[in-house]
Amino acid sequence: MKIGIVGITGSVGKELLELIKERKFIFSEIRLFASNKSVGKKIKFKSKIYKIIKLNKKNLSGLDLVFFAAGSSVSKEFAPIAAKNGSYVIDNSSAFRLKKNIPLIVPEINSNEIKSSNSKIIANPNCTTIISLMGIKPMSNVKKIKRVVATSFQSVSGAGNNGMDELLRNTKRFFNNKKSQNKVFDKNITFNVIPKIGSFQPNGYTDEEMKFNNESRKILNDKTILLTATTVRVPVLRSHSISLNIEFNGNIEINRIKKEIGKFPGIDLVDDPKKNKFPTPIDSSNKDNCIIGRIRKDYSKNNCVSVWIVGDQIRKGAALNAIQIAELLV
C-alpha cells in the first residue's frame, strides 16, 4: 500500500506517523507533505530518512491512501484531487464532515457506514465529538437517549503545536513577571479558562459547540436526540475532558450503565469514589483508550445520569481514529 500524510509537521501529522509505526501499519511507500516552507526538510522514520515534498496534483498521484491533517482549506482543495486519482482520503478537518454522501466515522460506533458508502473521502469527526460519543454510545445501548448536555474542558493541543507552545511560553512569562502574548488564543490561557472555542455563531454558540451537535447526530444516525454544549479551553497540554449530563427516555440503573461501558471497546472504566479513583486528562495522555468515571444518577431527575470522560485529543480525538479507519479500509 502506498500512503501519504498531508500536514506532517503538525501535531496530528506527527502522531499519525508514530501510530503507523506503533500499530505496524504495512506500507510499501510513504510520502510526507507539508506547507511550502517545510518542503525539503528531512524526517527520520523507521531508520530511514524521508524528505518532505510539495503538495500538488502530480505528487498525490499513485497513492492508495492519503491522510489529511492540514486544515479545511487544504483539504477542500486537494482531497478531491486525491480522490479523483483513485486514492482513499481520510480527512481530519471539518471540510467534509456534514456532507450528505461522505461517511463520518468513529470505528467503534458506525464502521458499517464505510461498507455502505461509495465515497473515496471519509471524514474524521471533531475531537470533542469523538471522545464524548465514546461514552455516550454504550449508554445509548441501555436505553434511548433523549438529551445530552455537554461541557468540555479542552486542552491547548486542540489548537496544535502553536497552542501548546503559547501555554508554555506564557507560563514562563508569568513567572518572570512579563505580560502574556496571546497570538493563538483570544485571551491569556495561563492559569485561566476561556469559554470560547471557534467563532461565535448567530445563535450565540460557537462553531465548536455546533460541531458537537451536528456531528453527533450524524454519527449516531439519530435526528431526534437533543444536544447542547459549552466548550471551554483550559490550561492543560494534552487530552480533553467532558462533563456529560444524559437524559434517557425512562428510568435507568447505574450498574447496568457501568456494565455496558465496561464491555465497550476503546473505553476504560475508572470509577471508585470510595478509593478516590476517577479519571483526569493526564491519565489518558498518550493513551489509546478514553477513560470514564464519576458515573452517578442525577439526583434532580430520575432518568438522568452524569458522567466524566477524558481522552487524548491528538490520539483518539484525531490520529488514532484516522488510523483505525485506515485499518478498516485495509
The domain 2-124+318-329: what is its CATH number? Answer: 3.40.50.720
* Cα-Cα-Cα-Cα dihedral sign, residues 319, 325, 329, 330: positive
Q: Is 293 helix (H, G, I), strand (E, B) or coil?
A: strand
The residue annotated as part of the active site, out of 127, 184, 269, 304, is 127
Q: Report the distance separating Cα 210 and Cα 27, nearest Å.
A: 37
The pLDDT mean for the chain works out to 96
Amino acid identity, position 257: I
C-alpha cell at 56: 500538488
Q: Is the pLDDT assigned to residue 302 strictly greater than 90?
A: no
Q: Is 127 a catalytic residue?
A: yes
The Cα-based distances of 237 to 31, 157, 186, 266, 286 in angstroms read 29, 6, 17, 22, 11
Residue 322's nearest CA partner among 23, 48, 43, 61 is 23
What is the per-residue DSSP string for 162-190?
HHHHHHHHHHHHHHTT-----SSSSS--T
Backbone dihedral region for residue 97 (phi beyond 0: left; psi -120 to 50: alpha; all else: beta): alpha
The Cα–Cα gap between 110 and 103 comes to: 9
pLDDT (mean) for 307-321? 97
Residue 116: predicted pLDDT:
87
Q: What is the CATH number of domain 129-313?
A: 3.30.360.10
Report yes or no: 153 and 234 within 8 Å, Cβ to Cβ. yes
* pLDDT (average), residues 33-51: 93
Catalytic residue at 240? yes
The grid coordinates of residue 34 equal 507539508
pLDDT value of position 261:
96
For strand 48-51 and strand 145-154, is the pairing parallel, antiparallel, or unpaired?
A: unpaired
Per-residue pLDDT tens digits for 97-125:
999 999 999 999 999 999 888 999 999 99
For 198-234, write each residue's pLDDT tens digit.
999 999 999 999 999 999 999 999 999 999 999 999 9
Residues in the chain: 330
Could you report the per-residue pLDDT of 56-74, keeping only the tens digit for each?
999 999 999 999 999 999 9
- Residues with Cβ < 8 Å from 173, sequence gap 6 or more? 179, 180, 181, 190
Q: What is the pTM of this model?
A: 0.95
> Which pLDDT score, from 0 to 100, does residue 306 have?
97
% of the chain beyond a pLDDT of 90: 96
Given pLDDT bands bounded at 50, 70 and 90, which one contains residue 162? very high
- Using CA atoms, how far apart are residues 204 and 57, in angstroms rounded to an integer? 40
Catalytic residue among 218, 233, 240, 315: 240
Domains of the chain: which residue ranges? 2-124+318-329, 129-313
d(C-alpha 270, C-alpha 258), whole Å: 10
Phi first, then psi: give them for residue 28, nearest 5 degrees. -100, -25
